Amino acid sequence: MNALQPWHIIILVLVVVLLFGAKRLPDAARSIGKSMKIFKAETKDLTGEQKDEAEEAETRQLPQATAPAQDSQVADLQRQLDELKKQQAATEQPQKNAS
């Protein structure tokens, strides 16, 4: 029975609009939003500064560690592609000569 009902919220909104005015409310909401964004960024920097540095170091090392494996895979795929091109060229030459 003591819970907020829809008409309570309507009355609160009307009181806020009357106190601050309809023109000042959007500006106040923007400034509160910017303040919250700055506050979240600062608290995140304070709490996760060391974690972020460790994660960045891991992500920087990960691509370097897999680069030799990727190079060998690329080289193998390039060889396979060259072989397929040679096979295709060899099968097309007899067909051209027969025509």
- The pLDDT assigned to 39 comes to 93
Per-residue pLDDT of the chain (99 residues; tens, 9 = 90+): 578 788 898 999 888 888 888 888 888 889 999 999 999 998 888 877 656 666 666 666 555 555 667 788 888 989 999 999 998 888 887 766 665
C-alpha distance from residue 23 to each of 12, 20, 29, 83, 86 (Å): 17, 8, 11, 73, 75
Say whether 23 sits in a helix, a strand or coil: coil
- The pLDDT assigned to 34 comes to 94
- The pLDDT assigned to 17 comes to 86
- The pLDDT assigned to 55 comes to 67
- The pLDDT assigned to 64 comes to 52
CB neighbour list of residue 28: distance below 8 Å, 6 or more residues apart = 20
- The pLDDT assigned to 37 comes to 94
- The pLDDT assigned to 56 comes to 64
Specify burial of residue 25 (Cβ count, 10 A radius: 0-12, 13-18, 19+).
middle
